Amino acid sequence: MKKVFAIMLMAVAFAMPSNAQIQFGLQAGLNMDNVSGTDNLKGAIKSRTGFFVGPTVKFTLPIVGLGVDAAALYDHREGKGEGENAPTIKAQSIQIPINLRYGFGLGELAQIFVFAGPQFGFNIGSNKTLADIPNVAKTEWTLKSSNFSANAGIGAMLLNHLQAKLNYNFALGKTGEVEVTEALSGVKRVIGGAKANSWQISLAYFF
């Protein structure tokens, strides 16, 4: 996955025309997560609000209205399992969105744009969260080491420096799986997984 991502970044860089305008900035925002369980975990995980922050870059192409933006974001998300002994699931990752954008408006004064693109995530926190019910079972929540998702949203740019965005980030695969080890038999079995979709709002300032 890392090699694939590196190749994609190189492809984007070489595809940029020499007269493309480049701006660097900082971005921060909130995740309003919707953790959806699969199999036996449907409705078993309560979502919580998370956050993300990191550097961003914007390419304005010499085609009217078109551009590309990318970022490297530290992303923190949480979910709380149902029940007294259920663990709080924390996901810490580096998320790298690459979005194609199309804008229209009043030149450098103000611009409205729509965007969409893929997002690549790499887990940097603990990949396991445990919940132990004595003499009954041990539950292990295992996060994937990487994940793939996509974005679609709308934004506004003011004075060519301040940017606000609203987007929906939806998972294109499982975020993690839950395994239960029964205390008496020692048998371990996967009982389900979960996908972390999220509404996101963010602000960015480009220098």
Helix (H) or strand (E) holding 123: strand 110-123
Look-up of token digits 């590196």: 6
Flag whether 150 is in a domain.
yes
Task: Identify the bridge partners of residue 49 per DSSP, sorted by sequence position.
Answer: 32
Considering only CA atoms, which of 183, 80, 74 is closest in space to residue 121? 74
| Number of domains forming the structure of the chain | 1
Considering only CA atoms, which of 55, 115, 50 is closest in space to residue 89? 50
Flag whether 102 is in a domain.
yes
> Rg (Cα) of the chain, in Å, rounded?
20
Mean pLDDT of the chain: 79
Instruction: Give the tens place of pLDDT for each residue, 143-184.
Output: 788 889 999 999 999 988 999 999 999 988 877 777 777 666
Flag whether 57 is in a domain.
yes
Flag whether 72 is in a domain.
yes
Flag whether 179 is in a domain.
no
Flag whether 187 is in a domain.
no
pLDDT at 197: 86
* Residue 62: pLDDT over 70: yes
Task: Report the CATH number that the domain containing residue 66 is assigned in CATH.
Answer: 2.40.160.20
pLDDT at 4: 46
Look-up of token digits 């029940």: 83
Considering only CA atoms, which of 200, 173, 174, 20 is closest in space to residue 97? 200
Q: Residue 77 belongs to what domain range?
A: 2-37+47-83+90-126+146-172+196-206
Q: Which residue has the higher pLDDT, 180 or 10?
A: 180
Instruction: Give the tens place of pLDDT for each residue, 106-115.
Output: 766 899 999 9
- Interatomic CA distance for residues 139 and 63, integer angstroms: 53
